[in-house]
Amino acid sequence: MKALDVVKMPLHALALMGKTKSFVGNPLIGSRWLNERGLHRQRVAFADRSAWARRARLGRALSAEERDAYARDGFVIRRDFLPAELFARVRDEAPAHVAAAREMRQGRAVTRRVALDRVDAARLPACVAAANDARLDRLMRYVGAHDAVPLMYLQTIIVDPARGAQDPQTVLHRDTFHAIAKAWLFLQDVGEDDGPFAYVSGSHRLTDAMRAWEYEQSLTAASSDNPYHARGSFRMPPEDLGRLGLGPAMKVVVPANTLVVADTHGFHARTPSLRQTVRMEIYGTLRGNPYGLGCGLDPLAWPGIRSRRANLVDQAEDLAGRFGLLGKNWPLVSPRRMDSASVD
Ligand SMILES: O=C(O)CCC(=O)C(=O)O
């Protein structure tokens, strides 16, 4: 253990009560000795139990069919989600929107995003209306087991197989050890070859086999060669799924105007693109304290913050990056159409 880690030990210990997941960034989370005695196993089990307790209340706002779909699969799919008239306006507005967006490159994939806060409604009225749909909000709260407002964006994923290294999102993985909701409202049809989202049905459930797998990973994750695995986003070799009683990942091949809300602590991936693809979606993310220790407080929903929350989070991350407190936020690029395949 490094000397600095000893000084920071109270902070490392406090982090166990929150979302921190890295087996290399936190010496307690990465400790084989503690994990042999059940530290990771207990974090996973406690997060799962408390998420289901919160869902018992959040589920009242959903249909039985939606609750059953989540319980069985770990995701909910709603076709023809937006009224046709609103969806037609979103389809006109989104691709043609010109913005100095944020872009992040991961190997051959570039993700481009602009925020869809209420304050953005002057530029993107239809997209902001869609992103603030109350049904979407309720589904995300349930799947993420967190009674809070999600962060919403207009997002384009541009993949060019000729451009570089593997996109890490195409490797089957879970984002973390506790429930998280991610939402995609697809603006075009997503076919087999369009780099669809893929999910292993039922892999969000904490079965005995899954508990044993999590325990096993926790003993060695800190020394994994895969940096994402070591940082707590466990990678899952597809050939090991059978051992957990799980089938293969299912590609979510869907028509335009389909909403998918998934708990990405189940195994999922982006299907690799064999040709250049441009996928556009209204995208949302919601992750809260795994154990419900936020005391019901949701500062992002407070007056003056709610209507600009995704923009404020970006500004806060820019600032934190500048002071070296976090990694660098996604850079702003020169203005371009949201559907442009050209990237920096
Ligand atoms: O874009 C996708 O289809 C999946 C992305 C993904 O794997 C993730 O957000 O963790």
Residue 136 counted as domain residue:
yes
- 123 inside domain: yes
Which of 111, 113, 182, 200 is the best mutation target for the ligand 1 pocket, counting ligand atoms within 8 Å of the beta carbon and taking the most? 182
Which residues form the domain of 284?
3-288+333-337
Task: Confirm whether 312 is domain-assigned.
Answer: no
Alpha-carbon gap, residue 274 to 252, rounded angstroms: 17
**Residue of the CA atom closest to atom 9 of ligand 1:** 169
For 277-340, the three-class secondary structure string (H helix, E strand, C coil) is: EEEEEEEEEECCCCCCCCCCCCHHHCCCCHHHHHHHHHHHHHHHHHCCCCCCCCCECCCEECCC
257: left (phi over 0), alpha (psi -120 to 50) or beta: left
Select from 248, 180, 175 the least CA-distant residue to 22.
Answer: 175
Question: Ligand 1 centroid to 281 CA: how many Å?
Answer: 12
pLDDT of residue 344: 78
Does residue 277's CB lie within 6 angstroms of at least one atom of ligand 1?
Answer: no
Q: Report which of residues 321 and 44 the model is more confident about.
A: 44
Task: Give the tens place of pLDDT for each residue, 275-314.
Answer: 999 999 999 999 999 999 987 889 999 999 999 999 999 9
Give pLDDT, residue 235: 98
pLDDT on residue 210: 98
* Residue the block writes with tokens 């325990």: 215
pLDDT in tens, 222-245: 999 999 999 999 999 999 999 999
Q: Tell how far the Cα of 37 is from the centroid of ligand 1, in angstroms.
A: 33
- In short, whether 197's Cβ falls inside 6 Å of ligand 1 is yes
Q: What is the pLDDT of residues 186-224, one digit of tens each?
A: 999 999 999 999 999 999 999 999 999 999 999 999 999
In this model, does residue 1 exceed pLDDT 80? no
User: Rounded to the nearest whole angstrom, what is the distance from the C-alpha of residue 3 to the centroid of ligand 1?
Assistant: 37
Residue with the nearest Cα to atom 1 of ligand 1?
A: 270
Ligand 1 atom closest to the CA of 270, numbered from 1: 3
CATH number of the domain at 183, please: 2.60.120.620
Number of domains in the chain: 1
Q: Does position 3 have pLDDT exceeding 80, yes or no?
A: no
Is the residue at 258 inside a domain?
yes
Tokens in use for 228? 């994402």
> How does the average pLDDT of the chain come out, rounded?
96
**Inside any domain, residue 12:** yes
Q: Is residue 81 included in any domain, yes or no?
A: yes
Residue 150, domain member (yes or no):
yes
